[in-house]
Amino acid sequence: MFHKEGQRIILITFFATAALALGAEYYVGTPWLRIGLQVLALVVLVLILQFFRNPKRPVVPSFDEILAPVDGKVVVIEQTEESEYFKGLRLQISIFMSPVNVHVTRYPASGVVTYSKYHPGKYLVAWHPKSSTENERTTVVVRTPKFGEILFRQIAGAMARRIVNYAEKGDSVQQGEDSGFIKFGSRVDVLLPVDCIPTVKLNQKVKGAVTCIATLPHPSDGE
């Protein structure tokens, strides 16, 4: 399955690949150059196809877990001041996506969207400390039954030039459903209440809608 955001570019790339392969076959006389151009065109098509893949991941929603919103590697686990919406201390878990990762963004929890905003900005590398506040990004807040309000932020990277966000204020959303897409390299920050317990480690690879990244504290933890 391929994501709907890639349909146009997949079609364009397919026809461009076919045209280049046929053109090379009939108009390039040097064998090594002809084959090289055809292989290059095929490699580009394969890369585009793998980038826009959208594997189906059935989820049994759990109000007690926050799932990774994207595939990638955990690059930040820390408490931080969130200045856009909460204006207070939150637990931040950030996931970096390389161009080879699935770039579908999925809702990390079920609930109701209470805030959704797009911010134009720069295109610093996604792991830059200021990328969360200065890069092109979208911010979505979901009110959940047990965690209260949680925030996740799509952040464009140096290669990304378009963020797609489907969340609209008032939407009822289900954990694991598509919430958007980021094209060509990016990062997603998840900001949770500070008493949440991270269930992942730095540099751990996670899968969107599969890996649990945080849970609620156990009642006995406060005793």
* Higher pLDDT pick, 186 / 170: 170
Whole-structure pTM value: 0.81
Is there a contact between 20 and 7 (Cβ–Cβ < 8 Å)? no
Measure the CA angle with vertex 212, ends 65 and 170; round to 5°. 50
- The pLDDT tens digits of the residues spanning 114-123 come to 999 998 866 5
In this predicted structure, what is the pLDDT of residue 9?
77
Section 18-40 average pLDDT: 85
- The pLDDT tens digits of the residues spanning 136-162 come to 889 999 999 999 999 999 988 655 557
Instruction: Please state, in angstroms and rounded to a whole number, the distance separating the CA atoms of residues 123 and 103.
Output: 17
Consecutive H or E run containing 46: helix 31-51
Is there a contact between 122 and 132 (Cβ–Cβ < 8 Å)? no
Structure tokens at 164: 């797609």
Provide the residue count of the chain: 223
CATH topology of domain 65-215: Glucose Permease (Domain IIA) (2.70.70)
Amino acid making up residue 49: L
In this predicted structure, what is the pLDDT of residue 220?
58
Instruction: Please state, in angstroms and rounded to a whole number, the distance separating the CA atoms of residues 97 and 185.
Output: 6
Which of the residues are catalytic?
186
All structural domains of the chain with their residue ranges: 4-51, 65-215
For the cut 70, the answer to whether the pLDDT of residue 86 exceeds it is yes
Measure the CA angle with vertex 169, ends 122 and 179; round to 5°. 60
